[in-house]
Amino acid sequence: MSTGNRLLAVLPGEVYDKLTPYLEEVWLERGTILHHPGEPIENLYFPLDCLLSITITMKDGSTAEAGMVGNREVCGINAIMGARETTQTEYIVQIAGSAIKVPARPLLEEFDRSKKLRDVLLSSTQALIAQISQTTACNSLHVLEQRLARWLLEAQDRIDSDDLKLTQEFISHMLGVRRAGVTQAAQKLQDRDLIEYNRGRVKVLDQQGLEATSCECFMTLREEYDRLLGTKDRDG
């Protein structure tokens, strides 16, 4: 079984062995809702090469992304906290791919027993809080072009692919902006040969150029994740 998820990769062998009977590799289709607001969290997902979003939907139907979950996170971390249900967030698959599914109960039991597992999952929670905090500030302070560049880099880093199957309408929901804004920001990035957009696919052509266009938030978060979870091998 693949340990392409960064959290599973840093688990000590004895902890991983205890969880192994409960780990199941699953394929997640785009658009699948893994968790509805208010429901208990029955399973957690460690993405391998899929991209998940934690979203919030307002009463008028408008949606925005509150957090992004990929191969350096786990989806459903609330399951190990006091209350197993979330009140306002939904978990949805944004880019199809594989994940390791684990039922909440055995993971919670092992969480209570193993300090090493607690350390990893609490560090991951701290990293997720860092992501949400940085994104909140970024959305308030930085221009759309910078935010789009950051968002694409974050997505790319979480699925380890330059090829992102994402529509501009979807990205506009995730960034909480109008579709026209994403269309023009993407056009500007494309004119500079940083990305190529074609029929629901974004291809990152120049990662360094995109990093230079992005605000500081991408590098700040990358450093924080590396500090909390160990440096990611980016040479492969």
User: What residue ranges bind another protein (CB under 8 A)?
Assistant: 143-145, 168, 177-181, 183-188, 190-191, 197-199
Q: What's the DSSP call for residue 84?
A: S
Say how many C-beta atoms besides its own lie within 10 A of residue 132's C-beta: 13
Q: Shortest Cβ distance from residue 180 to another protein (Å)?
A: 5
Kindly tell me the number of DSSP H helices and DSSP E strands found in the chain.
9, 10
Q: Shortest Cβ distance from residue 12 to another protein (Å)?
A: 46
Cβ closest to another protein, residue 89 vs residue 146: 146
Cβ closest to another protein, residue 134 vs residue 168: 168
Cβ closest to another protein, residue 116 vs residue 179: 179
Q: Shortest Cβ distance from residue 147 to another protein (Å)?
A: 9
Decide: residue 100, CB within 10 A, 0-12 exposed, 13-18 middle, 19+ buried. Answer: buried
Q: Shortest Cβ distance from residue 141 to another protein (Å)?
A: 13
* C-alpha distances in Å from residue 64, one per residue of 29, 167, 170, 172, 224: 20, 15, 10, 8, 23
Cβ closest to another protein, residue 28 vs residue 186: 186
Cβ closest to another protein, residue 151 vs residue 225: 151
Return the amino acid letter for 79. Answer: A
Cβ closest to another protein, residue 183 vs residue 220: 183
Q: How far apart are CA 137 and CA 195, in angstroms?
A: 25
Q: Shortest Cβ distance from residue 167 to another protein (Å)?
A: 9
Q: Are 99 and 186 in contact (CB under 8 A)?
A: no
Q: Shortest Cβ distance from residue 182 to another protein (Å)?
A: 9
Sequence-distant (6+) residues with CB within 8 A of 155 are 51, 68, 70, 95, 164, 166
* Cα dihedral sign, 51-52-54-60: positive
